[in-house]
Chains A and B, each alone.
Chain A
Amino acid sequence: SQTIHQWPATLVQPVGSPLSLECTVEGTSNPNLYWYRQAAGRGLQLLFYSVGIGQISSEVPQNLSASRPQDRQFILSSKKLLLSDSGFYLCAWSLAGTANTEAFFGQGTRLTVV
């Protein structure tokens, strides 16, 4: 069966510090991968998605970036965090090559920028 791992679960970082959140998927090949952010009291906002190694599409301009160095690894990064980057970050995957299928979410990372 497929599983998705996301870490860390919680993170407190000072303003201006770098960020690296990692997500890995097991049990499937060439998944579509996504990073979503959920601000307090708000919905899920798509930040990045990837349909293959090295292929990253950005939905929202910001000081975050994403990379996919391996087929089942998706990394969210920032060189300098802002207070507004605080939120709940969720990695997700879906089956590749199929339209409109369920997205499976990781456990999430609660990021607090202080």
Chain B
Amino acid sequence: GENVEQHPSTLSVQEGDSAVIKCTYSDSASNYFPWYKQELGKRPQLIIDIRSNVGEKKDQRIAVTLNKTAKHFSLHITETQPEDSAVYFCAASRNSGYSTLTFGKGTMLLVSP
């Protein structure tokens, strides 16, 4: 089955800096890669996703890049703000009738004012 590795497990940055979280996956058939943000005690919520037919996607301060050959994808947050502090999860799934997402272990991002 799919295996998703996520690094780093914790990331501390100063407000205004950029943050990068990296994930690798094992199943070459995976072609959907969402990123979820989970604030303390709350449910995970989708912040951005990318499909295998594109290499990069951007939404304001958030961007995701995908390298299918190397089987890795990354989340980039620019101009970080304290409200970006949360746990971020990457995930991967195959193209099938249901999205059984395989998640990474998460990255706790701490943005200091």
Contacts and interface: CB of A to CB of B under 8 A. Distances in A.
B98 A32 contact: yes
Contact of B103 (A32, A43, A49, A107): A43
B43 interface: yes
A100 B100 contact: no
Contact of A90 (B31, B44, B46): B44
Nearest to B34: A102
Interface residues of B, number: 27
Contact of B97 (A44, A46, A99, A102): A99
A74 interface: no
Contacts of A97: 97
Nearest to B101: A103
Contacts of A105: 43-45
Nearest to A110: B41
Interface string B30-45: 0110100000001111
Given A42-B106, A102-B34, A59 B100 contact: yes
A97 B99 CA distance: 10
Interface in A31-48: 32, 34, 36, 42-46
Nearest to B99: A94
Contact of B43 (A49, A96, A107): A107
Contacts of A44: 44, 89, 91, 101, 103, 106
A20 to B, nearest CB: 20
Interface of A: 32, 34, 36, 42-46, 49, 51, 59, 90, 94, 96-103, 105-108
13 contacts: A36-B103, A42-B105, A46-B100, A46-B102, A99-B95, A99-B99, A100-B31, A100-B51, A100-B93, A100-B94, A103-B34, A105-B44, A105-B45
